[in-house]
Structure 1
Amino acid sequence: MTHPDDDDELIQELALAGQGIALVKMEGRVFLRFEGVVDEAGLHVPYALVPAQGVLAKPSKWRKLEREARAALIAERANERARRELDEHVRAFVRELAEECEDAGLAPMDFLHTLADLQTSEPAGAIFDRIRQRLGHAVERQREEQHAERTRQSINLAEYPASFDVARRLPRRFIALLGPTNSGKTHKAMEALAKAASGVYLAPLRLLALENYERLLEVERHGKPLAVSLVTGEERRLAEGATHVASTVEMLDTRTAVDVAVIDEIQMLADRDRGAAWTAAVCGAPARTVYLVGAPEARRAIEALAERLECPLEVHVLKRKGPLAMEPGPVRKVKNLRPGDALIAFSRRDVLMWRDMVAEMGHSVATVYGNLSPEVRRAQAQRFRDGSADIVVGTDAIAMGLNMPIQRIVMTASIKFNGVEEEEIPAALARQIAGRAGRYGIHEEGLVAGYDADTHEVMRSLLKEKPVPLNTSGFAVAPTLEHLHRIAAVTGETALAKLLKRFIHNIDVPDGFFYPRITEDQNERAEWLDTLPLTVAEKFTLSLVPVTTRVASLQSAWEHWAMSLAKKKVTRLRTDDYVLHHMTLQEVEDICRLYSAYAWLGYRLPEYFPDVTLAQDMSREASSRVDSMLQDQNASARRRRPRR
């Protein structure tokens, strides 16, 4: 066995200490470390490194070696040739790093000083790789900081309103008409719009855009009907010489000046996913008079926006035209439902379940839920209006855009899935749903009840809650293609996911009055789209297609469209693609949505998705099939009515 002191004697005997060579034991190794200095690229760089062949053995093996064998191994590895090779490797590395640091504007000694400081058994080559990695990270951080700064310089959200040239040049004024459901606020705004020489109505839903389009068509001026166009993401009905437009809010034309604009459901400024469209509408509606119509809790937010935009503001708070009251107690049984009731559930499955239960009691039923196309919702609502349906069973979709002669709202639940978890509905939604009861001019008062005792008491409490005002800052701004092109121009980035990330994290938001927002769906889609050879514009368009990723068939269709576009292939529709009478209700509903999404794409990329008219025809056919199936199911459930 050898003694540790023998190693010190060996180093002295071989005169290695004077040559800057040390024998070291650490990290489970016995190795040689060479010390030296190189003067290269104007730098004086000391080092203490393990040469390529500097690791001699594991300690257990080293202890078993005879003194002569250890001396021979040290002499073999610690020679002049090894010294020169290490010195040359260090020089070459210093030259390489100095050049890269000069290109990046970094100080090379910030990285090279570690060559003399590291206490490790790793060979020099591994140390060089680690320093290269550190430099790479530093360069990437520096690039990110530069790109962040360039992004901040290219987009300043404080200047967001100025990006709407026409609105900025017009002498605009705001008129806020605020009140609960059934206060006549939308009617008052639409009357002003109909009297104006030109104007635009901006709706939260295709259904509302369609209803008010038809409402404007009934207006006569100088003995002629008003020339009105309908513009939604999925449909265009363009009238020659149109003076008025009914549009979904996302489809606002910011370049054509009009006399009056009506922005409906203004409280949606606070909506998590779509609030940015209302911010854009308030900032960019190119009208001399802009009506802001919605719930009273939007007042402070409207006042803040008007002040920021330097637009004079009138606020009119309207009261409900008929009283709204809670029933003394819950409904408790289906047999206690009566004609004129609207039964509210919060999922398609529950709506259809309650529909069957109500129909089995002998009532005719209209059915309304979010998955239905606007055409089907209108047809179902019309049955309730004309009395061919006694009771309407629906989701909170009836809370916005469907005017029906409901006498009593009956809530089957007060818990709703918010996209993340089940939670109690907010008081604002409870008020909006309840407000649909007691249509002015038809019923003397509106009534509200819970189906069970717990829901009844929750609704009573929610309707007593004081509305929470909307925030007066942090108004959402969604990225436009122009924003993304600006960021791409200053950063060289072409990946949509990274451009969106830069928009969210790097643009300048000096006082937070306007704030960047994107949806989770858009971000997830962007990452997948970045795997395809598409332009930024194409990826951006595809990321916004209004089709849910939660339905496998729709997600599959969307992916197919994206991959076809990447290959520059034209995607056509065939009338024999789907046989509607062989499908379930859910499948036909999804087909409606698929055709609508195709039409949406077709308006934006007509060269590759040319069958817009066919898509709209097939969507209408599928909608008709859905309506027919709902009627058949309603009739079937009524036939199952138990005998008494």
Structure 2
Amino acid sequence: MQLASNKGLTARNDNPLFWSLRNAFVRGDTNGLDRELRYSFQSFLLRNKFSKSVTASHKKLADLRYPYDWFPATRAMQRTIHLHVGPTNSGKTYHALKALENAETGIYAGPLRLLAHEVFARFTAKGKPCALITGEEQRIPEGTDRYFASCTVEMAPLNKRVDVAVIDEIQMIADQERGWAWTQAVLGLQARELHLCGEERAVDIIKAMCARMGDKCIVHTYKRLNPLRTMQESLQGDFRKLEKGDCVVSFTRIGLHTLKAGIEKITGRRCAVVYGSLPPETRAQQAALFNDPNNDYDFIVASDAIGMGLNLEIKRVIFEAVTKYDGGGHRVLTVPEVRQIGGRAGRYRTAAQDIKDNHTDTTSRPTSKNAPAGMPASAGLVTTLDDEDLGVVQAAFTSEAEPIKAAGILPPTFIIEQFYSYFSEDTPLSFVLARMREMAKLSEEFQMCSIVPLMEVADLIQEFPMSIQDRLIFLTAPANFHGTGQKQVLKVLARCISENRTAHLLDIEGLDLDILDIERGAADVNNTQYLQRLEELHKSITLYLWLSYRYQGVLTSQHLAFHVKSLVEEKIKDFLDNLSFTVEGRKAKRQQTRLLVERHRKLEEKILGDEPSNEAELVQEGPGAWSEEGHEEALMEDEAEAEDPVGLPDAIREVVSDDRLPRPAGEDVRT
């Protein structure tokens, strides 16, 4: 603390403990600080038990400055890396996918399950054998061993040599949760040609990495194919001002379905809905209904997943709000997020049209369906629902995001295994991970991604005897611990794998299958409880499926799990389809979130001041809560959203506006 206050030393390299504690508080509030204090104290107690020689070995293994050397087979290749950069709707991804289509073998790696499905459908429609590989689903073509693979980026096969690989949304290499997956793919994919698509702010970091790897780097810069403009006024909360071809953006599934109900109620016209968690067939159907000018589906509500490349013919993007809940708290959208989502206005063509017509010209005539009066057919417009948010959107389109300074990284499993071998078998894996994080050396091009979620999983399964290899598999499982149900399911599955005992789905303790027998609106279960139980069951089933691909002899109910998962999704869909809408309720919800964000900003400013950061900081780069399987939008932000509040309670208004922090003991600031 003296180093920070007297000498201004707050960077990770200069003052690691202070940096860790402050970062934990900023990102995770008091709960995050509590976890960090416990891990730091544990490390303090145990560090003096190691001899100098063992400590020296630890430091050597924790030297992560040369991650290029982790992939010797890839380093033996001479790759050509094509970096396609530009704003949305500039054709960069189109050109990369064309290179992939013209190859004999290849891989597509994207940030969302919906994009993996879209590329899988595109290649399959053109008669090209293609595998779909995501965390919970694997479809492998039969009768051939030469096929393309469409994956979420974490699942990209690093041991498969191919002609061409495409990595989408390369700017997410800086994401604080998932950036390591993009870094791993760039360093490790064995492709003679590697095509990276994304924003121009990624150019410097990619060129620096290519220089270190010895790969040839060719930068292709694209300009937007049509104009994009921010409007000078909002819709002032009035859905009657919507025009044909409008897209209203919201950030939770409850928000999307509530808006759909409200738009149809107020305008008397049909509204499609598209988000990442929809089944691929439903998503394609909804997109087709909106894109078809010859029906009565005039509007669409969509999640911020549209900013990740979903093809829709949108005239105007309207932000319902410019704040979102990202799993740690409410925050204002970043400049790149606003620009990427808003940039989907005025799209030229859809992927479905490209497949149907087999076009090769990205500058083909734009559709005139959504042309606003007095403007070119392809012009895109961006605005907000409320006046209070318009300034944020306008400012985002008049400023440029800073270049990416550091790529996210996590130590690979083989290094963690070696590091773990220096400790006794009863040493908690969470301590080993904390020790590695504490001692890690990084070059200026890399920054450690958040390791706390891995430590939480490690603590949950610590009591079960299993190999380090099994423990590391669990660390990468799609676990989300906002509720208690999935913790119990994870522990049951870990016990079964530890004992090599068959885990039939119906015998798993803590799996809330009873919720399937309860109908929506039951007297003994309120909306929040009903939806939370369904969501927890869905996450638990997803966890079971993910592990079933890795422990097929233990988790034997994969087909039943897929069936139960579909039943849960039907019940969630039924709930969402029957949400009610009140103008006052949604308006109050938006105002409440603005107050919470402003309250957090004031608190952060009070504690941290306005001092500039003296080292690169990883940030959230995309949609959704990243602990969600498929990395898509959350079901709801908080309990109030499920209950459809009709106003902002005075008690909440007082809390978020008061400089004091009145709260019940044990609850964090956001609560």
- After TM superposition, the score normalised by the length of structure 1 is 0.71
Distance 1:169 1:354 in 2: 53
Higher relative strand content: 1
By how many angstroms is 1:519 displaced? 3.3
Asked whether the equivalents of residues 62 and 439 of structure 2 are also in contact (C-alpha less than 8 Å), the reply is no
By how many angstroms is 1:350 displaced? 3.4
Distance 1:530 1:177 in 2: 44
Distance 1:372 1:266 in 2: 24
By how many angstroms is 1:617 displaced? 3.7
- After superposition, residues 584-603 of structure 1 pair within 5 angstroms as 584=530, 587-603=533-549
Match of residue 444 from structure 1: 378
For the structure 1 residues 402 and 620, does the alpha-carbon distance in structure 2 shift closer, same or farther, using more than 3 Å as the test?
farther
Distance 2:234 2:46 in 1: 67
For the structure 1 residues 141 and 590, does the alpha-carbon distance in structure 2 shift closer, same or farther, using more than 3 Å as the test?
closer
By how many angstroms is 1:447 displaced? 0.9
Residues 475-529 of structure 1 deviation map (CA, whole Å, 9 limit, x = unaligned): 32223321221112234455210221132122443x3433443432222222222
**3-state SS of paired residue (1:245):** strand
Match of residue 65 from structure 1: none
Asked whether the equivalents of residues 269 and 296 of structure 2 are also in contact (C-alpha less than 8 Å), the reply is no
Residues 128-179 of structure 1 deviation map (CA, whole Å, 9 limit, x = unaligned): xxxxxxxxx9995150654432123235423321221321111101000011
- After superposition, residues 599-618 of structure 1 pair within 5 angstroms as 599-618=545-564
Distance 1:370 1:359 in 2: 22
Which AA in structure 1 matches 2:378?
Answer: E
Asked whether the equivalents of residues 104 and 163 of structure 2 are also in contact (C-alpha less than 8 Å), the reply is yes
Distance 2:332 2:78 in 1: 44
Match of residue 247 from structure 2: 342
Match of residue 131 from structure 1: none
Distance 2:315 2:222 in 1: 21
Identify which of 384, 390, 411 aligns with 2:319. Answer: 411
Asked whether the equivalents of residues 266 and 292 of structure 1 are also in contact (C-alpha less than 8 Å), the reply is yes
Distance 2:286 2:123 in 1: 22
By how many angstroms is 1:414 displaced? 1.5
Residues 413-449 of structure 1 deviation map (CA, whole Å, 9 limit, x = unaligned): 2222343333321110000110111111235111111
Asked whether the equivalents of residues 64 and 411 of structure 2 are also in contact (C-alpha less than 8 Å), the reply is no
Identify which of 321, 328, 337 aligns with 2:232. Answer: 328
1:422 equivalent to 2:324? Answer no
Identify which of 428, 435, 438 aligns with 1:495. Answer: 428
Asked whether the equivalents of residues 254 and 576 of structure 2 are also in contact (C-alpha less than 8 Å), the reply is no
Which AA in structure 2 matches 1:495?
Answer: P
Asked whether the equivalents of residues 217 and 226 of structure 1 are also in contact (C-alpha less than 8 Å), the reply is yes
Distance 1:355 1:144 in 2: 64
1:464 equivalent to 2:398? Answer yes
Which AA in structure 1 matches 2:166?
Answer: V
Which of the pair has the greater relative contact order for Cα pairs under 8 Å at 6+ separation? 2
Match of residue 359 from structure 1: 264
Identify which of 84, 94, 99 aligns with 1:177. Answer: 84
1:298 equivalent to 2:174? Answer no
For the structure 1 residues 351 and 502, does the alpha-carbon distance in structure 2 shift closer, same or farther, using more than 3 Å as the test?
same
- After superposition, residues 240-389 of structure 1 pair within 5 angstroms as 240-332=144-236, 333-361=238-266, 362-369=268-275, 377-378=283-284, 380-386=286-292, 389=297
Match of residue 51 from structure 1: none
Asked whether the equivalents of residues 272 and 290 of structure 2 are also in contact (C-alpha less than 8 Å), the reply is yes
Distance 1:359 1:145 in 2: 70
**3-state SS of paired residue (1:461):** helix
Asked whether the equivalents of residues 227 and 241 of structure 1 are also in contact (C-alpha less than 8 Å), the reply is no
Identify which of 218, 235, 238 aligns with 2:137. Answer: 235
By how many angstroms is 1:308 displaced? 1.4
Distance 1:476 1:306 in 2: 16
Distance 2:428 2:385 in 1: 51
By how many angstroms is 1:618 displaced? 3.4
Which AA in structure 2 matches 1:270?
Answer: A
**3-state SS of paired residue (1:320):** coil
By how many angstroms is 1:198 displaced? 1.0
Which AA in structure 2 matches 1:394?
Answer: A
Distance 2:45 2:173 in 1: 41
Distance 1:469 1:585 in 2: 40
Distance 2:431 2:192 in 1: 39
- After superposition, residues 25-174 of structure 1 pair within 5 angstroms as 141=48, 143=50, 145-174=52-81
For the structure 1 residues 587 and 389, does the alpha-carbon distance in structure 2 shift closer, same or farther, using more than 3 Å as the test?
farther
By how many angstroms is 1:382 displaced? 4.3
Structure 1 unaligned segments of length 5 or more: list them. 1-136, 220-224, 638-644
Deviates more, 1:569-578 or 1:551-560: 569-578
Asked whether the equivalents of residues 376 and 623 of structure 1 are also in contact (C-alpha less than 8 Å), the reply is no
Distance 1:265 1:592 in 2: 27
By how many angstroms is 1:231 displaced? 1.2
1:480 equivalent to 2:424? Answer no
Residues 560-585 of structure 1 deviation map (CA, whole Å, 9 limit, x = unaligned): 32343344432222497663773556
Identity of aligned residues (%): 29
Distance 1:431 1:515 in 2: 25
Structure 2 unaligned segments of length 5 or more: list them. 1-43, 349-365, 368-376, 508-512, 521-529, 584-671
Distance 2:51 2:225 in 1: 58
Distance 1:433 1:139 in 2: 47
Rg: which structure is higher?
1
Which AA in structure 2 matches 1:282?
Answer: V
Which AA in structure 1 matches 2:430?
Answer: A
Which AA in structure 2 matches 1:166?
Answer: A
For the structure 1 residues 382 and 636, does the alpha-carbon distance in structure 2 shift closer, same or farther, using more than 3 Å as the test?
farther
Distance 2:485 2:277 in 1: 14
Distance 1:151 1:388 in 2: 65
Match of residue 67 from structure 1: none
For the structure 1 residues 622 and 388, does the alpha-carbon distance in structure 2 shift closer, same or farther, using more than 3 Å as the test?
farther
Identify which of 308, 313, 324 aligns with 1:400. Answer: 308
Match of residue 505 from structure 1: 438
Match of residue 28 from structure 2: none
By how many angstroms is 1:322 displaced? 1.4
Which AA in structure 1 matches 2:129?
Answer: A
Match of residue 64 from structure 1: none
Which AA in structure 1 matches 2:56?
Answer: E
Asked whether the equivalents of residues 257 and 576 of structure 2 are also in contact (C-alpha less than 8 Å), the reply is no
Match of residue 83 from structure 1: none
Distance 1:150 1:233 in 2: 35
Asked whether the equivalents of residues 496 and 540 of structure 1 are also in contact (C-alpha less than 8 Å), the reply is no
For the structure 1 residues 449 and 312, does the alpha-carbon distance in structure 2 shift closer, same or farther, using more than 3 Å as the test?
same
By how many angstroms is 1:195 displaced? 0.3
Match of residue 107 from structure 2: 200
By how many angstroms is 1:396 displaced? 1.7
By how many angstroms is 1:264 displaced? 0.4
- After TM superposition, the score normalised by the length of structure 2 is 0.68
For the structure 1 residues 439 and 139, does the alpha-carbon distance in structure 2 shift closer, same or farther, using more than 3 Å as the test?
closer
For the structure 1 residues 171 and 399, does the alpha-carbon distance in structure 2 shift closer, same or farther, using more than 3 Å as the test?
same
Asked whether the equivalents of residues 78 and 214 of structure 2 are also in contact (C-alpha less than 8 Å), the reply is no
Distance 1:305 1:591 in 2: 42
Distance 2:446 2:424 in 1: 26
Which AA in structure 2 matches 1:452?
Answer: D
Give the length in aligned residue pairs.
Answer: 493
Question: Once superposed, what is the RMSD of the aligned Cα atoms?
Answer: 2.9
